[in-house]
Structure 1
Amino acid sequence: MMESNVGIGRRVECDGHRGTIHWIGELPPAQGTWYGIDWDDASRGRHDGSHNNIKYFQTRYPTSGSFVRPAKVNTGITFEKAIRGRYQDDATVESEVMEQLQREINARFVEVVGMDKVGRKQSGNMLCIPDHPEELKKSLNHVVHLVLNNMLVYSWMDLLTCCTMFPELRNLQVAFNKLDVLGPIPCGVFDCLEELDIGENPISSWEEICHLGSLPRLESLNANSCCLKRITFPSTSATDKTPLFPHLERLMLANNPLDTWECTGELNKLSKMEYLVISYNVKTSRYFQEFTFARISKLKVLNRTELSPKEKRDCELFYLKTFSSEYYKNGGKEDQNSNSLSQEFIEKHPTYLRLIKAHGAPLDDTDFKTQKSQKLKDLKVELKIIILSEPQREETFKFFLLTTKVAKVKMMLKRHLKINPSTNLKLSYCSTKDGGFEIPMDNDQQDLAFYSVENGDVLLISL
């Protein structure tokens, strides 16, 4: 016999599957009452709510509907029974899992109640939105934290409509809702919202995320495990701040297929962002953390790593030095007031000029690097070494870089010839082009090139 309190919209369960009653009545030629159910799992049903070419109810999916006799349907249990069934008499968690959990939270004793059963039974709900939700504002104005995860059939507009009942919301979670679009937020909705979790939704466009940028008090946004491929604020120039997200301090973007190098430059446009969680490829982004701290001016914590002001300054100096050659090749000057820097460089390194203003321009070592890039054989000379006080010693030859200081040459010779390190050496050389004249090398701070030493010359040592 059908329960008297069962009606359209009632949530039911049958053989472990859950669904919603959308129709109650007879199905000629069969006698008796049937329920028309739209199942949460589309594979559980058989049709779209039709029978003998007559449409009885609407389903969410073409195969999520079926007709079931009331006797086969479980229409619910008491709250107490539900609690006991979910948490009581569960088997203990495997010992190795418990030990790992103890290590992670540094606890001597851990008890996890009903973890496996909760995991198996966890599912979303199909709560119907009231016809006039705005009329419930006064009754719900003390609710500040609302979880609307895994609502199954709620669209973004349904979620917004539902939230109009909670005018004082500070924290909202709408994860696992299969949302791929968000859309504009009506004026007056989420005026008090400070934390928002939209993670685990297939949102691929940053433009959809930007719809949240109008929220006046939003401080924390979780968009982990979405499908975001890039971040861009197209209406804002490379070095300006965006008017969107005026109070956003914390942003979570882990497990998104982002181009992390480009997006860190864009994220610098957020005026108050201090905390960022983001995934990146360690193999292809060796200095990602250091560069990100330099590229996002107000960033203090990256992937839960907090830097001191000195450490952040070191990251900024390292960033300046790393890209100094690129800076000068693109029109940069040591005097930033005379810069003719290319727009391409500015867009790629939007914080570079700000860092130069704070720390000064990096050294222009273009000429040195050009010299260094020459073939090594053009920078080396082979010298014949003679110790004047030991004419019987066997002739020795050694290669030196022309950029080597005389002081370092002396150190190298002491090691090579096994001369007492405390011995005071005096060096000179005979040029093969000057008729064998001896030229003293009396300045330890000059390099070999200063003395015009050439390949084949003789290096003379006085002990």
Structure 2
Amino acid sequence: PQVGARICLNSHIGTVRFVGPVDSTNGIWIGVEWDDPSRGKHDGSKDGKQSKISGSFIRPTAGVQYGVSFLEALTSKYIEALHGSETQEKVLLGSSAGAIEVEAVSLDKIRRKFARLDHLREISLDNANIVRGDSNGSISQTCPNIRGLDLSQNLLSSWEVVAQITREMPLLERLALNRNRLQLPSCSESLLDAFQKISEIQLNNTLLTWAEICWLMAILPRLQVLEVGYNQLTSLALHHSLGQFPQLSSLQSLNLDSNLFSDWVHICTVLKEYPNLQRLILTANNIESIPLLLNQQRNDTFPSLRYLFLSDNQISSWNSIDALSTWLPNLQSLSLSGNPLVHGIDNEKHARPFTIARVPNLVMLDGTSITFRERTDSELFYLSQIIQQGVQTEAQRQEEHPRWAVLCELHGRPNEIQNLPTAPDKLSNHLMGLYFFLTDKLPISLQNGSYRSRVISQGGCTMDHSKKISMQVLPSMSLRILRIKICKVLKLDVRRTKLRCWLRMWDGSFAELEAVNNTRDLDWLGLENGSQLI
């Protein structure tokens, strides 16, 4: 192999950094820098020769894979020899980890369907050891209708090779190149015709710098969605050509998930140059605080951004949440889960209503819609908590709670705490108690397969009081949040648990709380203090 080539050995991918003899040994050695730093047995040195810190020397044995062409990989995956109609085939269910084997029929029909490569619109060839394109025109003749292409974790070594493939896909709109290590060419002019219609590109775990990412935007004139997570980025250092490319205005969504960003001001300063950027994903970074944007700094606002993901950062102060609306006046959707501010039993009680009250335009928080009733309850509760902090001047309250005056004007000023010594407005005063009776069996009326029935007649099920749990919730809570809370109490995996609930009616019958009503408030669904459910 040549220096710079990509190879694969025992499922580990690396870049060739040295080819040749090593002193005191016979034959040729290959010095490899592995993508996985733990793969190398040492620092890549042998008898004074060194490749890279994450590398090692290997022999060019038969186990080393040097890659295949795009069409070879495509044919290998999508065209399979027919087994014949008389052949009985067995298939392992993918979700059973090989534990369940079933007989499959008519698989040859599926093979014939996928064998029509010219009909394919979406192709996934991740981890297929692709190292090169094919002869000029062969790809466009074979699969001319491709709209989406996944080439993640292959042996591609440069953007010229990627362009050789995509240039023959005139309809291509979505491209995934995750976990590749691609060298940039010295001149971008040779690539300008290869990515003209790309609107979405994934470059996660490619170790590109922000300057290189900006360089790539110049050859992606229609780019709307950009993913560059897991790239160890610490800053968005301004590229010398930033702002010169009018196509940057097309960017609408940027994913910076699982990088190393910590400076909120720096992020906003750079990204406000993208006037149509609406969605920003900063999940799992190192952001600790968001400073308040002062009136004289209003030119630094980020008015286009509407969707912000800040889960799993290090935010620990409510001042940062107050500051969000000064930076992002049109913020509609926010994700905060996994931050110290909302973590822990004490914080979780107040986190959702406090966040809703502090950010005025939110309509979605942590993936759950905010109803008009929930916003009203949250803002009233927030005002009651402010007043319970004791006697403060108006200036002090306004400084600590920037929405104090606005909320007082909207809902009326709450009574001072000294006027209500015996009945302070606590969160518990707004809660209602629900009782749940657990069962792992379907009610009697549903055991015969009548799943379309949503009402169980009186006596149709047994309520086991030994399996009763109680829960305090806000009436404005959505049914979806209630299901999540039940799973947490029972220590169940929310994603893998199918939870069905029936509400006991006044006449003793039971009505199912259907999933289609997940966004409805509990009080809208008829739940009240003392309601019983199974």
TM-score, with structure 2 as normaliser: 0.54
Structure 2 CA distance, aligned partners of 1:240 and 1:303? 29
Given that 1:41 and 1:64 are in contact with CA atoms closer than 8 Å, whether structure 2 keeps it comes out as no
How many angstroms apart in 2 are the aligned matches of 1:98 and 1:195?
40
Which amino acid is 1:246 matched to? Answer: P
Report the equivalent of 1:179: 233
* Aligned-partner Cα distance in 1 for 2:420–2:372: 32
The equivalent of 2:249 in structure 1 is 191
Match of 2:94 in 1: 93
SS in 2 for 1:24: strand
Q: Which amino acid aligns with 1:193?
A: L
| Distance in 2, Cα, partners of 1:22 & 1:365 | 72
CA distance in 1, matches of 2:11, 2:196: 37
Aligned-partner Cα distance in 2 for 1:15–1:281: 41
1:407-445, Cα deviation, whole Å (9 max, x unpaired): xxxxxxxxxxxxxxxxxxxxxxxxxxxxxxxxxxxxxxx
Residues 92 and 98 in structure 2, CA contact (< 8 A), matched pair in contact too: no
Q: Which amino acid in the other structure matches residue 408 of structure 2?
A: I
Are residue 292 (structure 1) and residue 355 (structure 2) matched?
Answer: yes
Matched, 1:38 2:29: no
Corresponding residue to 2:201 among 146, 158, 164: 146
Q: Distance in 1 between matches of 2:48 and 2:127?
A: 40
2:218 to 164, 180, 200: 164
- 1:179 CA drift (Å): 2.2
Confirm whether residue 76 of structure 1 aligns to residue 131 of structure 2. no
In 2, Cα distance between equivalents of 1:313 and 1:96: 48
Task: Tell me the equivalent position of 2:367.
Answer: 304
Q: Report the alpha carbon displacement of residue 83 of structure 1 after superposing the two structures with TM.
A: 5.2
Q: Could you say which structure has the larger radius of gyration?
A: 1
Q: Deviations over 1:115-145 (max 9, x none)?
A: xx98999741112112112553354232111
Q: CA deviation at 1:32?
A: 4.8
Say if 1:68 and 1:212 are closer, same or farther in 2 by CA, change over 3 A: farther
Structure 1 match to 2:309:
252
* Cα distance change on mapping 1:217 and 1:298 into 2, 3 Å: same
Does the CA-based 8 Å contact 1:239-1:351 persist in structure 2?
no
CA drift at 1:97: 12
Please state if 1:278 is matched with 2:336: yes
Distance 1:166 1:118 in 2: 22
**Paired letter, 2:244:** G
Partner of 1:319, secondary structure, is helix
Task: Quote the offset at 1:240 in angstroms.
Answer: 8.2
Task: Report the counterpart of residue 349 of structure 1 in structure 2.
Answer: 401
The CA distance in 1 between the partners of 2:98 and 2:380, in whole Å, is: 45
CA shift in 2, pair 1:240/1:289, >3 Å:
farther
Distance 1:291 1:350 in 2: 13
Amino acid of the structure 1 residue aligned with 2:277 = L
Q: Structure 2: how far apart are the matches of 1:301 and 1:98?
A: 40
State how 1:111-150 maps to structure 2 within 5 Å: 123=153, 124-133=179-188, 136-150=191-205
Determine helix, strand or coil for the equivalent of 1:267.
Answer: helix
Distance 2:385 2:233 in 1: 41
The residue that corresponds to 1:9 in the other structure is 4
> CA deviation digits over 1:121-180, x for unaligned, max 9?
9741112112112553354232111110111x3233333333332132110001122223
Matched, 1:329 2:386: no
Q: 1:9 to 1:91 in 2, by over 3 A?
A: farther
Is 2:411 the partner of 1:359? yes
For residues 91 and 127 of structure 2, what CA distance do their matches in structure 1 show?
A: 12
Q: Secondary structure in 2 aligned to 1:293?
A: helix
Separation in 2 of the partners of 1:142 and 1:49?
42
Aligned match for 2:280, one of 199, 221, 227: 221
Give, in whole Å, the separation in 1 of the partners of 2:271 and 2:91. Answer: 42
Deviation digits for residues 51-98 of structure 1, max 9, x if unmatched?
Answer: 54356x5x2xx2414253365521013445545777889832245999
Task: Write the distance in 2 (CA, Å) between the matches of 1:143 and 1:212.
Answer: 21
2:57 corresponds, among 55, 66, 86, to: 66
Distance in 1 between the 2:221 and 2:7 partners? 31
Query: How far 1:222 sits from its partner (Å)?
Result: 1.0
8 A Cα contact 1:239 1:350, kept in partner: no
Q: Does the Cα contact within 8 Å between 1:156 and 1:183 map onto a contact in 2?
A: yes
2: CA distance, partners of 1:97 / 1:16: 21
TM-align CA RMSD: 3.6
- Superposed displacement of residue 196, structure 1: 0.6
Give the distance between the partners of 1:134 and 1:346, measured in 2 at CA. Answer: 56
The residue type equivalent to 2:376 in the other structure is R
* Aligned residues of 1:47 and 1:66 also touching (Cα < 8 A): no
Identity of aligned residues (%): 26
Report the 3-state secondary structure (helix = DSSP H, G, I; strand = E; otherwise coil) of the residue aligned with 1:329: coil
Counterparts of 1:140 and 1:240 in 2: how far apart (Å)?
A: 38
Cα 1:302–1:34 shift into 2, 3 Å: same
Deviations 1:324-380 (A, max 9, x none): 244x72213xxxxxxxx12xx3342111112223333223352443x779xxxxxxx
Shift of 1:230: 2.1
AA aligned to 1:351 is R
Contact 1:215–1:245 (CA<8 Å) still a contact in 2? no
- Note the residue ranges of structure 1 that are not aligned, 5 or more in a row: 1-5, 100-116, 333-340, 374-463
Determine whether 1:53 maps to 2:116. no
Deviates more, 1:130-139 or 1:161-170: 130-139
What letter matches 1:252 in structure 2?
F
Corresponding residue SS for 2:376: helix
Change (3 A) 1:98 1:27: closer
Q: Contact between 2:22 and 2:47, CA under 8 Å: does it hold in 1?
A: no
Q: CA offsets per residue over residues 290-319 of structure 1, 9 Å max, x none?
A: 221111111111122223345423322332
> Is the 2:362–2:370 contact (alpha carbons within 8 Å) kept by the matching residues of 1?
no
Letter in 1 for 2:275: P
Alpha-carbon distance in 2 for matches of 1:48, 1:288: 48
Partner of 1:453: none
| Amino acid in structure 2 at the alignment position of 1:291 | F
The offset of 1:207, in angstroms, is 3.9
> Alpha-carbon deviation of 1:289?
1.6
1:29, 1:260 → 2: CA distance? 62
Consecutive aligned runs of 4 or more in structure 1 exceeding 4 Å deviation: 28-33, 46-51, 83-90, 95-99, 117-123, 238-242
Distance in 2 (CA, whole Å) between partners of 1:312 and 1:98 is 48
SS at structure 1 position matched to 2:254: strand
Residue 204 of structure 1 deviates from its aligned partner by 3.2
After TM superposition, the score normalised by the length of structure 1 is 0.62
Say whether the 8 Å CA contact 1:252–1:277 is kept in structure 2: yes
